Amino acid sequence: MIMSFRAFISIDIDANPRIVEFFERLKRLGPSFKVVDPDLIHLTLKFLGETDEGLVPKIRCAMERSVAGIGPMLLKLKKAGAFPRDHNMRVIWIGIEGGEGIGLIAGNLDDELSDLGFKKENRSFVPHITITRVREGASVGEARELLRMYDDVFFGEQLVDTIRLKKSILGPKGPTYSTVEELKLRPP
C-alpha cells in the first residue's frame, strides 16, 4: 500500500522575543486572525502537498542538487506586511532581507522537483514568514494599524545553515510538523 503525507521544504525560524511580542499583539485582534504557533514558524521554500513516501530519497537528492555550492547565510527579519494587500489581507507576514541565496534555493527546488511531478510555481518567490492567516470577513482595521506600527521594525537576524523536508499533519488545534529529511548547507 502506498502511503503519502502532506509535505513542504522549509527553513526553521527561531521565535525571538521581538517576534513573540508581535505574535501576542496579533492574537489580541481576535479569532478571525489565526496566529501560527511561534514554535512552528518557518520560511517555506517549496510546498509539495500530498507526497508519496516512496519519493523521499529522490526528494532528498533534489534538495542536495538545489543547495550545491550555496553556503550558510545570515537572514535579516525585517518589516511586517500582508498578502495580497493590507485592505484585502489573507496572510500577515514578516519579511526577509538578504534572501538572495534563499531565492536561489527555492528556484532550484522548483526546477528539480518538477522532474518528480511536483507543480512549478507560477509566481515569483517572495521570502517571508507567514505568522497569521486572516479569515474571510475579518475586520482588518486594527490589523492595518498594527502593520503600520511594524512596517519598518527589525525583528532580528538568523543564521541559516539547514533546509528540511517536513511532514505536516493538520489537526483541530492546528498543524504539527516533523522533520523527514534534513540537509546542511555547506560553504562552496
Chain segment 63-95, per-residue pLDDT in tens: 999 999 999 999 999 999 998 876 678 999 999
87 is an active site residue: no
Class of domain 4-165: alpha beta
Query: What pLDDT, on a 0 to 100 scale, did the predictor assign at position 1?
Result: 56
42 is an active site residue: yes
Q: What is the pTM of this model?
A: 0.91
Annotated catalytic residue within 46, 78, 128, 166: 128
Q: What is the pLDDT of residues 89-117, one digit of tens each?
A: 899 999 998 878 999 999 999 999 999 99
Annotated catalytic residue within 6, 25, 42, 60: 42
User: What residue spans define the domains of the chain?
Assistant: 4-165
Question: Considering all CA atoms of the chain, what is the largest pairwise distance in Å, rounded to the nearest integer?
Answer: 52
Query: What pLDDT, on a 0 to 100 scale, did the predictor assign at position 86?
Result: 63
Cα–Cα distance, 61 to 118 (Å, whole number): 14
Q: What is the pLDDT of residues 6-59, one digit of tens each?
A: 999 999 999 999 999 999 999 999 889 999 998 899 999 999 999 999 999 999
Rg (CA), the chain: 17
pLDDT value at 139 more than 90: no
